[in-house]
Amino acid sequence: MSAVIAPGKIVPPSERTLKNSTSIAQTVQHTFTMAYRGLVKIRRTPEQLVDVTVQPIIFTLMFAYLFGGAIAGDVQSYLPALIPGILVQTVITTSVVTGTQLREDMDKGVFDRFRSLPIARIAPLSGALLADTLRYAIATTLTFVMGFIMGYHPAGGLGSVVVAGLLVIACSWAISWIFAFFGVIARTAASVQGISMLVLFPLTFLSNAYVPVDTMPSWLAWFANVNPISHLVTAVRELANNGVFGADAWISILGAAVIVAIFAPLTVRAYMRKA
């Protein structure tokens, strides 16, 4: 029989350590279990995928027909520059959901229930981050498919397109650690979304995603050139259009590694204090 701890009873430190100590293999298993929970949530509430299904279509159509003629002369000539920009903006913006849903689960007491289970304490957090990679994959696929329907044919070939998509997904997963940190420390899900959009919108629009940098004022061009979003967009363009894994791709990977190195420990530490 399993013992039931009465409400208010103090659990000895030795018992707490035994409960919360798990091997690496068990932690990985629990992480995949929690990731599956996230996928089940998506299946039961498919409206959660609106941002990664509808947004790429609307943004591609809107920007292509609004700016295609003005920037590139016609829509077809604008697509090789536009599709990578739409892709990066859509997937990076999608990573905000990680923090908002994490905050919602914590507010609803879901994580309190997880805390009573014999699972790795980090599993609910790592599982949520893993499940969200499916959202990034859907957004990436739909963006390229929409571009293909409109006449975009990447000259780099299918292999380079896949590598470009994986690069965006990896960088977005790294950035999701930032929003997960906001989700742990913020008071409400609305505040997480508000803070995140306040950061993301200037970064995505003040970049080379939609317009050439050389058309900007000098001070703004300087910011766009050092903007990490610009490096990622350029990397995707070089891969999809030319099949080249260039310096911007390496810069993007290095930036993603730095973000994970900084925010993963911060997020885990903040989460452990509350879990």
Identify the residue with better confidence: 43 or 218.
Answer: 218
Q: Which amino acid is at 90?
A: T
- Residue 11 pLDDT level (bands cut at 50, 70, 90): very low
Q: Tell me how far apart the alpha carbons of residues 95 and 158 are, in angstroms, rounded to a whole number.
A: 25
- Return the pLDDT at 100: 84
The string of pLDDT tens digits covering residues 143-174 is 999 999 998 999 988 999 999 999 999 999 99
Name the range with the highest mean pLDDT among 90-94, 108-112, 199-203, 251-255: 251-255
Name the range with the highest mean pLDDT among 43-52, 114-123, 151-160: 151-160
Q: Tell me how far apart the alpha carbons of residues 217 and 223 are, in angstroms, rounded to a whole number.
A: 10
- Return the pLDDT at 257: 95
Q: Tell me how far apart the alpha carbons of residues 267 and 41 are, in angstroms, rounded to a whole number.
A: 23
Confirm whether 21 is domain-assigned: no
- Return the pLDDT at 114: 73
Identify the residue with better confidence: 24 or 173.
Answer: 173
pLDDT of 112 over the 60 cut: yes
- Residue 197 pLDDT level (bands cut at 50, 70, 90): confident
> What sign has the CA pseudo-torsion 63, 67, 69, 74?
negative
- Residue 131 pLDDT level (bands cut at 50, 70, 90): confident
Backbone angles phi, psi at 12, to 5 degrees: -60, 145
Q: Tell me how far apart the alpha carbons of residues 221 and 235 are, in angstroms, rounded to a whole number.
A: 18
Confirm whether 3 is domain-assigned: no
Chain-centroid distance of CA 27 in Å reads 22
Q: Tell me how far apart the alpha carbons of residues 123 and 205 are, in angstroms, rounded to a whole number.
A: 35
> What average pLDDT is seen over the chain?
83
Confirm whether 52 is domain-assigned: yes
Q: Token match 């995140």: residue?
A: 196
Confirm whether 14 is domain-assigned: no
CA 261 to each of CA 17, 167, 266: distance values in angstroms, whole numbers, following the listed order: 26, 18, 9
Confirm whether 2 is domain-assigned: no
Confirm whether 48 is domain-assigned: yes
Q: Which amino acid is at 123?
A: A
Start-end of H helices in the chain: 13-20, 24-44, 50-72, 75-94, 96-107, 110-115, 123-149, 158-185, 189-205, 218-226, 228-237, 247-274
- Return the pLDDT at 198: 86
- Return the pLDDT at 47: 67
Question: In this structure, are residues 127 and 208 in contact, taking their beta carbons and an 8 Å threshold?
Answer: no
The three-class DSSP label of residue 156 is: coil
The string of pLDDT tens digits covering residues 205-259 is 899 989 889 889 999 999 999 999 999 999 999 999 999 999 999 999 999 999 9
pLDDT of 116 over the 80 cut: no
Confirm whether 67 is domain-assigned: yes
Return the C-alpha torsion angle 209, 210, 213, 214, nearest 10.
Answer: 160
Mean pLDDT to the nearest integer, 49-60: 81
Q: Tell me how far apart the alpha carbons of residues 119 and 20 are, in angstroms, rounded to a whole number.
A: 7
Percent of the chain with pLDDT over 90: 31
Confirm whether 19 is domain-assigned: no
Percent of the chain with pLDDT over 70: 88
Q: Which amino acid is at 221?
A: A
Identify the residue with better confidence: 131 or 174.
Answer: 174
pLDDT of 88 over the 90 cut: yes
Give the total number of structural domains in the chain: 1
What is the domain range of residue 104? 26-274
Identify the residue with better confidence: 93 or 236.
Answer: 236
The string of pLDDT tens digits covering residues 28-42 is 887 888 787 777 776
